[in-house]
Chains A and B, each alone.
Chain A
Amino acid sequence: MDKTWNNKAWFLVLPVLVLVAFSAVIPLMTVVNYSVQDTFGNNVFFWAGTEWFEELLASDRFWEAMVRNQIFSFIILAIEVPLGIFIALNMPKKGWGVPVCLVLMALPLLIPWNVVGTIWQVFGRNDIGLLGYYVNALGIDYNYVQDPFDAWVTVIVMDVWHWTSLVVLLCYAGLVSIPDAFYQAAKIDGASRWAVFRYIQLPKMQRVLLIAVLLRFMDSFMIYTEPFVVTGGGPGNSTTFLSIDLVKTALGQFDLGPAAAMSLVYFLIILLLSWVFYTVMTNYDAER
């Protein structure tokens, strides 16, 4: 081989490596480090091996939080995706309505997480909250502080209010990219409204929908701030999702080892599920 080897080129990737090391690898390795040790404070650590992992995977508390989280993700996807598509389809395509709708849609996305939580925390209260008060006035017994079902409804409605816009904006971007000729051809071909949606609009939105589903899934699986502010994970543990549980363990009880083990498992689950989602949806795409 006459190839000349010049290893100096490695220096070109050095900045990226350093950046990734400090932003991801080193913090992650710290967590890995904690997850296999035990401590009683004073910076004294003992080797614990896989003990924390075994304990975690055997604990009911973890699996309950996991099931709650999956149900939550499933429900919000089932609401936000169809609702987002529906709103996007009905948004104006031209004229003064476009900027108005876009700004209205973008507003919830601009509000910080904990502010969203606070808004709904107050909004839903049955003594002073606009929503809580009037729902009760209508004769419906609603109290998210005491009733687990009401707490779930509140958290879900809040998430739908906060994030449906994201699905709407992504779908709308897909829709406006469809040339007029497609709609004209559909008219010539005598296609029904449903056929236009099924064969023109949906295929064109498919890519952005994939991204919307992935983003909403990951985000909802990691949800922390809003339910924490509204319900604090209660009543009881009824709205304690994985990340809330994690924070309770790590900061509330200061169990660094179990919390680190949980973080890693949590991370791997999200990675795995996202990969499965992505593979399934892209394969489906390629097949068609």
Chain B
Amino acid sequence: MARIEVNHIRHSYLPNPQKDSDFALKEVHHTFEDGGAYALLGPSGCGKTTLLNIISGLLHPSHGRLLFNGRDVTNLSTQERNIAQVFQFPVIYDTMTVYDNLAFPLRNRRVPEADVDRKVRETLDMIDLASLAKKKARGLTADQKQKISLGRGLVRSDVNAILFDEPLTVIDPHMKWVLRSQLKQLHRRFGYTMVYVTHDQTEALTFADRVVVMYDGEIVQIGTPAELFERPRHTFVGYFIGSPGMNVLPVSLDGRTATLGTQRIELPGVPKAEGGTVELGIRPEYVRLGREGMAVQVSKVEDVGRHKVVRANLEGREIAAVIGEDDEVPADPKVRFDPAGINIYAGSWRVEMGA
């Protein structure tokens, strides 16, 4: 197990990067603590996989250093870094049996056969493929194959970290839950450093202690699931996390008051915003629909089962509000913003509010 320091790493797939936009990874500086379970969350193309491949050594960064437990590993090969990685699509060795597939990473490292057998059997039980051990891997279904890939990632106990690159994409929803909780259990039992790349927020929030949100080649926020929900540092985090995403409304500020069109909104503090575009962010969960407050026109009500999502128009802006499953939309609907859920953004970044 290791503490992984990503020290000012930048990466470009172009031979001669000039502009900032030439970089797939603009600048990442972060430490993955020993034994932590991290999720890298972000939309496709934001650089998650690039960062992962840099950690595992499949890619060599254009700039910056990588340290494992304080030791510089930037120029070491994948094999020397001793990392396990599971890819998005199943990679199996067709001609081998399921058992041999799992034994492969161990045998390549000349682990004694008795230990190989013990580890492989343990892993087979964990991924629930013990009954297929003697079968050729070729004829299996996609999710069985992906379980083999997962198993190959988990079979070595001495790795510095285990990296997962959207490993559950091809697995059906029920199995996803089972495997994800098994991964979590493993993490608790053995304390592996785990980094889990995904674009699925539920997956990220349930798997990880700390979620790293990436956007356009940069880390925009690192935090616990609760922090990401309550205090998104960047409007992108607000949009991306939560369903529906955060309402972001352009406002102008005057001390403790924000003005949205003709409406005035009382803020919980005085934002320390200096110029730039100022926006007010509020999650639909904190928008209260009732008989008092700012008048809105309701355009549609979506019943999603546990609650209802109300889409409405406030001062020419689309906003969403979440109300209880049994709540009714009043005849003359008005909304109020719960001050606890108000965040102010200047130039898309969150600003603190003073007393």
Contacts and interface: CB of A to CB of B under 8 A. Distances in A.
Given A189-B105, A190-B105, A179 B89 contact: yes
A187 B108 contact: no
A187 B78 contact: yes
B93 A199 contact: yes
A156 interface: no
Contacts of B104: 189, 191, 195, 199
A189 B109 CA distance: 9
Q: Kindly state the interface size class of chain B when it binds its partner.
A: 20 to 34
A184 interface: yes
A181 B91 contact: yes
B149 to A, nearest CB: 7
A190 B53 CA distance: 15
Contacts of A189: 104-105, 108, 152
Contacts of B58: 184, 187-188
Nearest to B79: A190
Contacts of B53: 184
B84 interface: yes
B95 A203 contact: yes
B85 A188 contact: yes
- Mostly, the A contact residues are helix
Interface in A31-73: none
B87 interface: yes
A147 B138 CA distance: 52
Contacts of A191: 104, 108
B109 A190 contact: yes
A86 interface: no
B136 interface: yes
A288 B83 CA distance: 30
A179 B57 CA distance: 18
A185 B149 CA distance: 9
Contact of B87 (A181, A195, A199, A200): A181
A182 interface: yes
Nearest to B96: A199
A281 to B, nearest CB: 14
A253 interface: no
A185 B96 CA distance: 15
Contacts of A185: 85, 87, 91, 149, 152
Interface string B40-55: 0000000000000100
Contacts of B56: 188
Given A181-B87, A288-B138, A188 B94 contact: no
B87 A288 contact: no
A177 interface: no
Contacts of B83: 188
B108 A184 contact: no
A189 B107 CA distance: 9
Nearest to B100: A199
B79 A203 contact: no
A199 B91 CA distance: 12
Given A185-B149, A203-B95, A288-B95, A190 B108 contact: yes
B105 A199 contact: no
Given A184-B58, A188-B84, A190-B79, A200 B93 contact: yes
A195 B108 contact: yes
Give the one of A182, A195, A199, A200 with max B CB within 10 A: A199
Give the one of A187, A189, A192 with max B CB within 10 A: A189
Interface in B58-94: 58, 77-79, 83-85, 87-89, 91, 93-94
A188 B56 CA distance: 8
A165 to B, nearest CB: 27
Given A190-B109, A191-B104, A199 B85 contact: no
Contacts of A200: 93
A192 B108 contact: yes
Contact of A188 (B78, B96, B138): B78
A199 B108 CA distance: 12
A187 B79 contact: yes
Nearest to B89: A181
A185 B79 CA distance: 11
B108 A203 contact: no
A154 to B, nearest CB: 39
Interface string A157-186: 000000000000000000000010110110
Contacts of A203: 93-95
B195 to A, nearest CB: 14
8 contacts: A181-B87, A184-B58, A184-B91, A188-B56, A189-B152, A195-B104, A203-B94, A288-B95
Interface of B: 53, 56-58, 77-79, 83-85, 87-89, 91, 93-96, 104-105, 108-109, 136, 138, 149, 152-153
